[in-house]
Chains A and B, each alone.
Chain A
Amino acid sequence: MSKPESEQNMDEFEVEVECLMDALFLRWGYDFRGYSRASLRRRVDRYLADNHYQRVADLQHELIRDKKRCIHFVRGLTVNVTEMFRDPEFYRVIREQVVPELKSHPFLKIWHAGCSTGEEAYSMSILLQEEGLGERAVIYATDVNSQVLDQASKGVYPERMLAMARDNYRISGGRGSLDDYLSVGYERFLIDPILKKNIVFTQHDLVTDQVFGEMQMVICRNVLIYFRRELQTKVLTLFHDSLDLGGFLALGIKESLRNLPKQFRYKAVDEATRVFQRVD
């Protein structure tokens, strides 16, 4: 039987990484088989170096037998970095073009998928407060990695991130001062607990878990870049099925709907910041 060309061309390390991912799935049910090969390779490569493994086979041997080690490894594979008001132009578009439409809803449900350590969920919470939607909105902020969710629900961040956060907030069209929403001390800043009231942090795996129902907006920024095209299609379908008709879908600045199933229709609210609206 002839294999597809891409598999014939796999080199040794790639074969090892693929086998490792199969092993994690078979043994523990962690499914990274749809993750982008290039980024998996880089992350496995880095994990081997940081933890002094000579060979993938040694790592695999241990991960199959040691659940704790496996959890450590999986956390390393799924950590994504973020910042408050990341891509401030995106928040400006939400403020100016999406909020006016959201105002017509008596109750708002927003799903922030892949929220990581929570900075962007708090950013959205601040924005909604300032636009008078704080009382009627709930943000479901999810991530596959329970460790980052713990950090997210604490809402404590290094103070060195604050200068950029203030800049981003200002560029995003913030109506007040970012410092009104946080307190600073011990080289950290703490998000005002009042902003947590309408955020629900909960674990959700885009690869294996189900639809998150009837959202007015789904935000998933810089997560799809780690997925292969087939998995992107699956996850975009999941988002589609989670969105109300007329609901908004926000992706990362360099992500696209190119892998969306053809029958789903969206119009661009703002092409540059990748904000779309479901139209069928």
Chain B
Amino acid sequence: MKQPESFSGSTRPLGLVVIGASSGGLEAIIRLLKHLPTQFDVPTAVVLHQRANRASGIPEMLAKYTHLKVQEPEDKEIITKGHLYVVPPNYHLLIDSGELLSLSLDAPLNYCRPAIDMTFLSAAEVFRQRLAGCVLTGANDDGARGCVAIKRHGGVVLVQDPQQAAVDIMPRAAIAATMVDEVLTVEVMARKLTTLAVGADP
């Protein structure tokens, strides 16, 4: 039986990219964004651990380095092409059925709010094989459980090369938790996302 295109192995255009980062993450995210070509328009959600409770200034900062429209999402916003969603400080970001963005003030997970696992787990359930999760530099293991879920649902996991990461704990935790698809520099990760965006195999 002929499978619908989006479900066959060779072509599955991405529906969402989720990026998790902690210590040293802002710089790594900026480098990643700089290397995304202007035709890249897959909706992308950034979960960056921050200490600040209030307005972070991070969306404004990231906007300088990307053609994507950068914003902190509102609750129940529809995930839209060409947007980069930055999780607001002190909220968890969940991906809800119907491809909506949902915010939550549930207790911290892995001592973190936002927690990367919250976003990765919920995104895996909704986007499944149309999801790419990226784990960048960080000093704890948030994101590792999420990577397991992404792989279980057929998505792609890309991890920053621990030797290139400012802090290698988070990438190493992801690599230890599951069979990640690739371990690479953020520059190569950007190229890989660009290929995945149009439906080529990882």
Contact = CB atoms under 8 A, between A and B. Distances in A.
B21 interface: no
Nearest to B113: A81
B197 to A, nearest CB: 22
Contacts of B91: 254
Contact of A39 (B72, B74, B77, B94): B94
Contacts of A39: 94, 96, 102, 104, 106
Interface in A18-58: 36-39, 41-43
B107 A255 contact: no
B103 to A, nearest CB: 5
A255 B105 contact: no
Contacts of B103: 225, 254
Contact of A256 (B75, B97, B104): B75
A42 B73 contact: no
Contacts of B94: 36, 38-39, 42
B155 interface: no
Contact of A13 (B77, B96, B100, B125): B125
Interface in A213-268: 222, 224-226, 228-229, 232, 252-256, 258-259
Contacts of B122: 38, 41-42
A222 B113 CA distance: 15
A255 B73 CA distance: 10
A80 B74 contact: no
A225 B101 CA distance: 10
B97 A6 contact: yes
B76 A229 contact: yes
B23 to A, nearest CB: 23
A16 interface: no
A270 interface: no
A239 B122 CA distance: 30
B118 interface: yes
A38 B76 contact: no
A6 B98 contact: yes
A259 B76 contact: yes
Nearest to B107: A81
A180 interface: no
A82 B76 CA distance: 21
Contact of A42 (B72, B104, B153): B104
Contact of A258 (B76, B98, B107): B76
A225 B103 CA distance: 6
B102 A38 contact: yes
Contacts of B98: 6
A255 B75 contact: yes
A11 B97 contact: no
Contact of B72 (A13, A80, A254, A256): A254
Interface in A162-209: 164
A279 B53 CA distance: 33
Given A41-B125, A224-B75, A225-B75, A36 B96 contact: yes
A270 B53 CA distance: 20
B125 A225 contact: no
For A39, A256, A259, which residue has the most chain B Cβ atoms within 10 angstroms? A39
Interface in B82-114: 88, 91, 94-98, 100, 102-107
Interface of A: 6, 9-11, 13-14, 36-39, 41-43, 80-81, 164, 222, 224-226, 228-229, 232, 252-256, 258-259
Given A38-B125, A39-B102, 18 more contacts: A13-B125, A14-B125, A36-B94, A36-B96, A38-B95, A42-B94, A42-B104, A42-B122, A81-B107, A225-B103, A228-B96, A252-B75, A253-B88, A254-B88, A255-B74, A256-B76, A258-B74, A259-B76
17 contacts: A6-B98, A36-B94, A36-B102, A38-B122, A39-B96, A39-B102, A41-B122, A43-B106, A80-B105, A222-B105, A226-B104, A228-B96, A229-B76, A232-B76, A255-B74, A255-B75, A256-B76
